[in-house]
Homo-oligomer: A and B are copies of this chain.
């Protein structure tokens, strides 16, 4: 009997207003999330690795203009795209990550190459691009990443001199949400996590958020859980949010759900850490807590059908 394999994906958390969301747009998000979950789940169903499932899922999220990662990345202050990504293998805690890379089609796959073909965990900027080129990773011209609605967001944010959360109706200072990620548990009991993001609209100063930081936005260990976060990155960094879930499980003996609730609702929410995370534990249990209005998300397990959601249930 195949054991409890499971996958969860997210396409960012934030202020997702029903009033501003057209039925067509909502349908497009559900369809995209469905395809992403399906692709990852197929890997698991055929006995593939959790690591492969999360990479496949995040590559699709990166290729879809609806999500703030890869092709759909938001614009920086300078009108460019600087992308961050991380992947972690729960079998041995190996990890790879990139920060501030430009023109790479799938930063998550570059992160995986760093994990498997270098002595390093985190490479950044032109050096990371050099490494990606040497590894034969696909690059795309600036036009590939151009999306009119994102560009309009930048103009608005520039005028109001704010940084802008991706899924917000208004530019709101200090809020910087919008990320894509996946976590999975395969039939062999392995866990993996992957996260990818374009950061926030109008970001400056080569800011790095929590997504590429192991323990903050991304973490996986077969003994505890796999986690991918989305939200106000700076709060997740200072909370060491992803690893905190694992520690509450390992050192306190809490369930995945309890540990996630404490981190997202008791620790992050009171200090302004808006957002959420997706999580899977060694038994294949899933948790998808968020303290924002919505989080684009989808799940499928060996026992339960594919579900995609945007708002609170």
Q: Tell me whether B234 and A120 are in contact (CB under 8 A).
A: yes
Given A95-B238, A243-B243, A123:B216 Cβ within 8 A: no
Contact of A119 with B by CB under 8 A: yes
Residue of B nearest to A219 (CB): B240
Q: Tell me whether B123 and A208 are in contact (CB under 8 A).
A: yes
Contact of A127 with B by CB under 8 A: yes
The distance from the CB of A129 to the nearest CB of chain B, in whole angstroms, is 9
Secondary structure of the A side of the interface? mixed
Q: In the complex the two chains form, what is the Cα distance from A219 to B148 in whole Å?
A: 41
Q: Tell me whether A119 and B174 are in contact (CB under 8 A).
A: yes
Given A120-B234, A122-B237, A124-B206, A214:B214 Cβ within 8 A: no
Given A213-B213, A248-B251, A99:B208 Cβ within 8 A: yes
Q: Tell me whether B240 and A204 are in contact (CB under 8 A).
A: no
Contact of A247 with B by CB under 8 A: yes
A193-225 interface with B by 8 A CB criterion: 204-209, 213-216, 219
Against B, the Cβ 8 Å flags (1 = close, 0 = not) of A248-292 are 100110000000000000000000000000000000000000000
Contact of A47 with B by CB under 8 A: no
Residues of B within 8 A of A174 (CB): 119
Residues of B within 8 A of A213 (CB): 122, 213-216
Residues of B within 8 A of A131 (CB): 204-205
Given A248-B251, A251-B248, A251-B252, A119:B234 Cβ within 8 A: yes
Residue of B nearest to A240 (CB): B215
Contact of A118 with B by CB under 8 A: yes
Residues of B within 8 A of A216 (CB): 213-215
| Residue of A163, A205, A233 with most chain B CB atoms under a 10 A cut-off | A205
Report which A residues bind B (CB closer than 8 A). Answer: 93-95, 99-100, 118-128, 130-131, 163, 173-174, 204-209, 213-216, 219, 233-234, 237-240, 243-244, 247-248, 251-252
11 A-B contact pairs sorted by A residue (CB < 8 Å): A93-B238, A95-B237, A95-B238, A119-B163, A120-B234, A121-B233, A121-B234, A123-B208, A126-B206, A127-B204, A247-B251
